[in-house]
């Protein structure tokens, strides 16, 4: 990875950190989940609205943490909003694979690719993954379903 590309990716991450997409609370969410990364102190809480039991119609996040975690949450909500749940699960898996040095980063889309460099810093991988594991919890757990 060239230095210029690193700088560009750094800029994308900072942009999401400074103006997070889909930040806030969902009114009357169908599902919620909270995630905590004790290594860094990152916290993420998610609210989801699920249409017809199968489409992620709305997703918002709140939380506080490092720029990697907040940018990852912002990018994730952008990437999965409006998707069928089956596709959402696929994207969660794809992102985890890339963070673990497998999978195809090209499949993630431009903004998320900015996080690929994080995999070189094992301590930060948990920061990037926290929103995604929290989303997985929110989708899989039955609690909070009306
Ligand atoms: Zn962090």
User: Where would I find the H helices in 21-84?
Assistant: 67-80
Q: With contact defined as beta carbons under 8 Å apart, do 78 and 21 qualify?
A: yes
Q: Taking the model in full, what pTM does it have? A: 0.92
Per-residue pLDDT of the chain (146 residues), as tens digits, is 456 778 888 999 999 999 999 999 999 999 999 999 999 999 999 999 999 989 999 999 999 999 999 999 999 999 999 999 999 999 999 999 999 999 888 888 889 999 998 998 888 999 999 999 999 999 997 544 44
Query: E strands within 13-128?
Result: 31-37, 42-51, 55-64
Q: Is 4 exposed, middle or buried (0-12, 13-18, 19+ CB in 10 A)?
A: exposed
Q: With contact defined as beta carbons under 8 Å apart, do 7 and 40 qualify?
A: no
**Centre of ligand 1 from the C-alpha of residue 52, in Å:** 34
Show Cβ contacts of residue 21 under 8 Å, excluding neighbours closer than 6 positions: 74, 75, 77, 78
What pLDDT, in 10s, does the model give residues 59-87?
A: 999 999 999 999 999 999 999 999 999 99
Residue 146: what pLDDT? 41
**Centre of ligand 1 from the C-alpha of residue 110, in Å:** 21
Ion ligand 1: residues, CB within 5 A, are 40, 42, 65-66, 69, 127
55-64 and 31-37 beta bridge pairing:
unpaired
Residue 53: what pLDDT? 84
**Centre of ligand 1 from the C-alpha of residue 11, in Å:** 17
**Centre of ligand 1 from the C-alpha of residue 27, in Å:** 27
């Amino acid at each position: 990875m060239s230095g210029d590309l690193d700088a560009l990716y750094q800029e994308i991450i900072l942009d999401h950190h400074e103006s997070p997409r889909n930040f806030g609370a969902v009114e009357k969410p169908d599902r919620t989940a909270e995630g905590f990364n004790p290594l860094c102190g990152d916290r993420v809480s998610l609210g989801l609205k699920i249409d017809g039991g199968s489409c992620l119609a709305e997703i918002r996040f709140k939380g506080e943490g490092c720029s990697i975690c907040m940018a990852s949450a912002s990018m994730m909500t952008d990437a999965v909003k409006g998707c069928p749940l089956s596709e959402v699960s696929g994207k969660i898996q794809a992102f985890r694979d890339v963070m673990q040095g497998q999978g195809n980063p090209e499949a993630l889309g431009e903004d998320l690719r900015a996080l690929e460099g994080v995999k070189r810093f094992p301590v930060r991988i948990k920061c990037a993954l926290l929103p995604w594991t929290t989303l997985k919890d929110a989708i899989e757990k039955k609690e909070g379903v009306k």
